[in-house]
């Protein structure tokens, strides 16, 4: 799988959780750049990455990530614990997964945020609701309504594909692999401990140091360890 969509959501921890979600977004963006992969920001917390073996290298990143550090706004020096959840979705092309037009409710609205005055003058932003499941996606970063619709449909297709696969797994009685979960502090796959300069992955019980280096996009120590675990 050479194209994936990464969704990152702030969990428990308020403003600090949002800052941590931004840190993870930057980490995956920089890792992709170091590989020479193409990246496209679909939304403030959604990134599409296209590159050789992208899914194979990043599939283990799905789940709840926990951070322990002293926020810049913390005057007493107390360590806070916050979370952010990551979902790794395969980017699915239209020919691979068809969606019935009758199952969609499509709304247009005026874009807001970065993009200059142009985005606010026309209703170029798109919001699509998948009626059977209730999934809602939106896109407003592109300049044209058609481009925003294409981006929103790509995201919806990937979410539905992942949802359908997960439902099939449940039907077979296998263990449910819910990447997003509740983003509760106790539901974690990995902890980033800043005071101890340590990252711990709780699934394989492995620690790494040089935390800042990893957050700057050097994910290879983690990737290689997971590859060894699969052998």
Is residue 12 a contact partner of residue 98, using CB atoms and an 8 Å limit? Answer: no
123, 147, 171: which is the final residue of a domain? 171
- CA atoms 57, 58, 61, 62: torsion sign: negative
Residue 164: the pLDDT is 82
What confidence tens digit (pLDDT) does each residue in 188-222 have? 999 999 999 999 999 999 999 999 999 999 999 99
Read off the CATH number of the domain in which 36 is found.
3.30.70.1660
Evaluate if residue 85 carries a pLDDT over 70.
Answer: yes
Do 37 and 150 fall within a single domain? Answer: no
Do 88 and 181 fall within a single domain? Answer: yes
How many domains is the chain partitioned into structurally? 2
Do 83 and 26 fall within a single domain? Answer: yes
Percent of the chain residues topping a pLDDT of 70: 86
Q: What is the DSSP string of 52-106?
A: TTHHHHHGGG-EEEEEEE--TT-SS---EEEEEEEEEEE---TTTS---GGGEEE
Do 38 and 84 fall within a single domain? Answer: yes
122, 140, 171: which is the final residue of a domain? 171
Do 15 and 60 fall within a single domain? Answer: yes
Do 158 and 186 fall within a single domain? Answer: no
The parent domain of residue 127 ranges over 101-171
Read off the CATH number of the domain in which 143 is found.
3.30.160.20
Do 23 and 82 fall within a single domain? Answer: yes
Do 181 and 74 fall within a single domain? Answer: yes
What confidence tens digit (pLDDT) does each residue in 23-34 have? 999 999 999 999
142, 171, 200: which is the final residue of a domain? 171
Do 127 and 184 fall within a single domain? Answer: no
Six-digit token pair at 68? 């322990």
Do 186 and 203 fall within a single domain? Answer: yes
Do 83 and 189 fall within a single domain? Answer: yes
What confidence tens digit (pLDDT) does each residue in 135-190 have? 999 998 888 889 999 999 999 998 898 888 777 656 555 444 455 555 555 569 99
Is residue 228 a contact partner of residue 41, using CB atoms and an 8 Å limit? Answer: no
Contacts of 98 (CB under 8 A, 6+ apart): none
Residue 223: the pLDDT is 96
Do 33 and 144 fall within a single domain? Answer: no
Residue 184: the pLDDT is 52
């Amino acid at each position: 799988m050479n194209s994936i969509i990464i969704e990152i959501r702030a969990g428990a921890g308020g403003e600090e959780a949002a800052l941590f979600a931004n840190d993870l977004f930057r980490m995956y963006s920089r890792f992709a750049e170091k590989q020479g992969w193409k990246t496209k920001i679909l939304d403030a917390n959604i990134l599409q990455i296209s590159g050789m073996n992208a899914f194979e290298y990043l599939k283990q990143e799905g789940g709840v990530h926990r951070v322990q550090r002293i926020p810049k706004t913390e005057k007493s020096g107390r360590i806070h614990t916050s979370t952010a959840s990551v979902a790794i979705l395969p980017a699915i092309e239209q020919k691979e997964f068809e969606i019935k037009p009758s199952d969609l409710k499509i709304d247009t609205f005026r874009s807001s945020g970065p993009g200059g005055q142009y985005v606010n003058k026309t209703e170029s932003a798109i919001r699509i609701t998948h009626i059977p499941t209730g999934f809602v996606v939106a896109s407003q970063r592109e300049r044209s309504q058609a481009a925003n619709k294409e981006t929103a449909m790509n995201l919806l297709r990937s979410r539905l594909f992942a949802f359908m696969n997960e439902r099939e797994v449940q039907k077979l009685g296998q263990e449910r692999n819910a990447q997003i979960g509740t983003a509760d502090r106790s539901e974690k796959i990995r902890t980033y401990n800043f005071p101890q300069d340590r990252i711990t992955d709780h699934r394989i019980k492995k620690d790494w140091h040089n935390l800042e280096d990893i957050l700057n996009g050097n994910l290879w120590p983690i990737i290689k360890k997971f590859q060894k675990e699969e052998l």
